Structure 1
């Protein structure tokens, strides 16, 4: 048996423990007269402690080697998971600054209900007191799967399971390496595994796996009830029926979490309330590098059916969120990617990859946001030609800078495409509620790929600022591709003011792209769209369709600069 000599963590440097067999430790040392060693916490009531003893050291809580800790005399009374009375009627209370849920009786065997033990650890950390360094402490949850029902986190407390790495496209071993909290069978419908106390401040949850009861679950992961200065970072949340993270506060940080949520789609749709796997509102939030991935819905682990035409559900729903910074990756989720963007927020390099519904869906509002370099990569999980990259029916004054759209990608023998890359019906010029699109880029496949900027079937159109080049770029500079241009406006007429980079050089534009090739555009060439003549005027509503009918094997980019 290998034994390792270590020094104990607290102040008595002359106390050493010989540890063997993992975390089980036995004392093999001279014990100072003021330290009394007993067995387990649960048996402490049978011990008679010498009068000169100032400290009790246990060998474990209910199992030797698990939850061992030191205790100091206290004038407080009443038995708790951190306080006991010995046979001589003396009360003793936990005196540790390094707290682990095992010290409060938790057992990470994936079976035992640890709700009282973990809640006691949180309450103990939040209370502070004479035996520790003030209010608030970190509580460790490691080395096991700890089953629990509803918990309340309080100001100044910090739950941690260690580090966890995120990765695109699923819950790998690396993404599930932190300590685990798993919902018990008694968790109530519409409740959450962890809820913050009302207006609690300065708390955190880091490096944990928070695991629900599966696709039929009606419960969620974390609920925030106001307050600020809280952090939810580096966690994995999976197998929840409803929201993985929901609530409000200011300021706050939600970063580097991997989220799978909204798995109980039938239950959520029956409620008829729009929501998201992460649903947050408030002011001055930082939501960066969060990843939405996978599905465990009732239709099967790889089934991504949407909730219906109303699309109540999304990976992210930020109605009421303002003045915040966001970035995320949405990978293979049912329904919409971003269902509501909030107002006055900055989105940076967000990515929507293989969603089943719209990439972004602004139906209930959302205005004055800036989206910098969003990437919408195909809707290969959606029904062909049914959903859009960006769909807007409400909300305005949003600015989309350098959005990139990828054409549909083959799935089996079928190629799935977005219906429209930008489908925006919000064009209230009188009140300047229109959205602005700066340098959209469309990546198409030769022969089958096509791109539509704007919705030619709707009464309202998208407005692109005039006098900007339309840039068509092939992957191979020396390869030409056939490009069809089709334009739409409120009163369809012949449009003749597309200029090929050289003033006065008119490119013929036809309304019917099936009539044949309009022109060939080489890598790096610009087609310039100008206002002032004919029927095209400054900021006129216009939708443009690009169809790549070329025989080349390399895709092309289409970029419209303002």
Structure 2
């Protein structure tokens, strides 16, 4: 697999680097892989030397406050059912899809808890497990739902569609990247798909090895019929070794990701830890990433696109990604504070296209642009007179920087 690891300091390093191409995504939109070509990006006017831009005439829109909590209240019914009582085997070979779904369907209208004991439960991800409102899917620490190998371009192991008050906790979800077959491509095999649902709490779970994204939070429908996901909380979620993204966020409102990790994404572009990509389908607004690790991905740590509004990164780590720590291609009202964006192959932060109203404050953004150093056998901690940490396009506006630690020169 060819990694994106272009150099950023000399023309000789560009000779084997192709311009990044547009990549068609899940809803038929085109996702530019890492933005624009490196050669074009180097022709931009670097504004990094202006360490603090005084914007005394600009009034920043206020962010909504205190809507997030690490332990949201979820209304779950009192009934408790065990999937073993409905025929689920958990032996790693039997198709347990229908048995687990039967347990869910047996809950009363008031919902309840579905207990999944230790074991590996094979799931036909072309159907997936569909959760209902007021339902908790509780996996024992030694329990995993594992996708049966398929050749589909799109699947989901667990889906939460058009539901409210849903909790998913414990154990793990495993995709089929090592048992997927056929040559029809595709990149939309999800571990957990949360769409058009409200008040969903996912915590203390690992999602890995998916053909596409570990998790998707977004909407169903389009135009006036589009219904976004709202009030979704992820706490202590580990998403790793997924093929396309650790997680994608499409149209949604109030998404809180805390104490979580999205690492080791590799296989098909964009290969980011998290990609917030609502595009023309709608808006992704009021999103908060806190104490979360977006490192070691073959693409960017975090990738942002148009129709993203009111995004906060607080105490986020993005290191050793083969793209940017954070690539911003058109969102507005972004706050990045107290975060560490270091040792990425490209810039720590790239504010591109028409990104506007961004605050970068009290961050450590240093020793980035590592592709060139690796290519020339130099220490990534070498001093450089060339900007390597923060890049701001001339079309990006209303950018404020203060108290950031960048690479020494």
TM-score normalized by structure 1?
0.49
Q: Is the 8 A contact 1:336 1:360 kept in 2?
A: yes
Unaligned stretches of 5+ residues in structure 2? 1-77, 181-186, 219-228, 278-282
Unaligned runs of 5+ residues in structure 1 are 1-95, 129-134, 163-176, 266-274, 299-305, 443-450, 452-545, 548-562
The ranges of structure 1 where at least 4 consecutive aligned residues each deviate by more than 3 angstroms after the TM superposition are 215-218, 408-414, 416-419
1:366 alignment partner, one of 310, 318, 331: 331
- Once the two structures are superposed, residues 261-280 of structure 1 have per-residue CA deviations (whole angstroms, 9 ceiling, x without a partner) of 542x5xxxxxxxxx663434
Structure 2 partner of 1:116: 98
Q: Work out whether 1:160 is the aligned partner of 2:138.
A: yes
Within 5 A, what are the aligned runs for 1:110-509? 110-125=92-107, 127-128=108-109, 135-149=110-124, 150-162=128-140, 177-186=141-150, 188-197=152-161, 199-214=162-177, 217=180, 218=187, 219-248=189-218, 249-263=229-243, 277-295=247-265, 297=266, 307=269, 312-319=270-277, 320-327=283-290, 328-340=292-304, 342-363=308-329, 365-379=330-344, 382=345, 387-394=346-353, 395-407=355-367, 414-416=378-380, 420-427=388-395, 433-442=397-406, 451=407
Distance 1:213 1:195, change over 3 A: same
Q: How many angstroms apart in 2 are the aligned matches of 1:258 and 1:424? A: 31
How far, CA to CA, are the matches of 1:282 and 1:98 in structure 2? 30
Against the structure 1 CA distance between its residues 187 and 148, is the aligned structure 2 distance closer, same or farther, given a 3 Å change threshold? Answer: farther
Higher Rg of the two aligned structures: 1
* Contact 1:332-1:353 at 8 Å conserved across structures: yes
Find the aligned partners of 1:113 and 1:352 in 2 and give their Cα distance.
38
Instruction: Give the RMSD, CA atoms, in angstroms.
Output: 2.6
Residues 446-504 of structure 1: CA deviation (Å, up to 9, x unaligned): xxxxx3xxxxxxxxxxxxxxxxxxxxxxxxxxxxxxxxxxxxxxxxxxxxxxxxxxxxx
Task: Note closer, same or farther for the CA distance 1:347–1:367 as it changes in structure 2 (3 Å cut).
Answer: same
Q: How many residues align?
A: 295
Partners in 2 of 1:438 and 1:216 — Cα distance? 48
SS for the counterpart of 1:117 is helix
Contact 2:367 2:388 in 1 (8 A): no
Select the structure with the greater relative contact order (CA < 8 A; seq sep ≥ 6).
2
1:23 corresponds to: none
Q: Distance in 1 between matches of 2:318 and 2:399?
A: 20
User: 1: distance between equivalents of 2:250 and 2:240?
Assistant: 16
1:392-423 CA distances to partner (integer Å, 9 max, x unpaired)?
A: 11211011111212326887954347962001
- Tell me the TM-score normalized by structure 2: 0.66
2: distance between equivalents of 1:205 and 1:286?
A: 15
Q: Secondary structure at the match of 1:122?
A: helix
Q: Give the secondary-structure state (helix, strand or coil) at the position aligned to 1:277.
A: strand
**For residues 227 and 362 of structure 1, do their structure 2 counterparts lie closer, same or farther at Cα, with a shift above 3 Å needed?**
same
Q: 1:243 to 1:120 in 2, by over 3 A?
A: same
What is residue 89 of structure 1 aligned with on the other side? Answer: none
- Looking at structure 2, the residues matched to 406 and 216 of structure 1 have their Cα atoms a distance apart, in angstroms, of 39
Task: Assess, with a 3 A threshold, how the Cα gap between structure 1 residues 262 and 359 changes in structure 2: closer, same or farther.
Answer: same
Distance (whole Å) between structure 1 residues aligned to residue 149 and residue 234 of structure 2: 28
SS at the partner of 2:117?
coil
Cα deviation, residue 281, structure 1: 3.5
Contact preservation (8 Å) 1:262, 1:276: yes
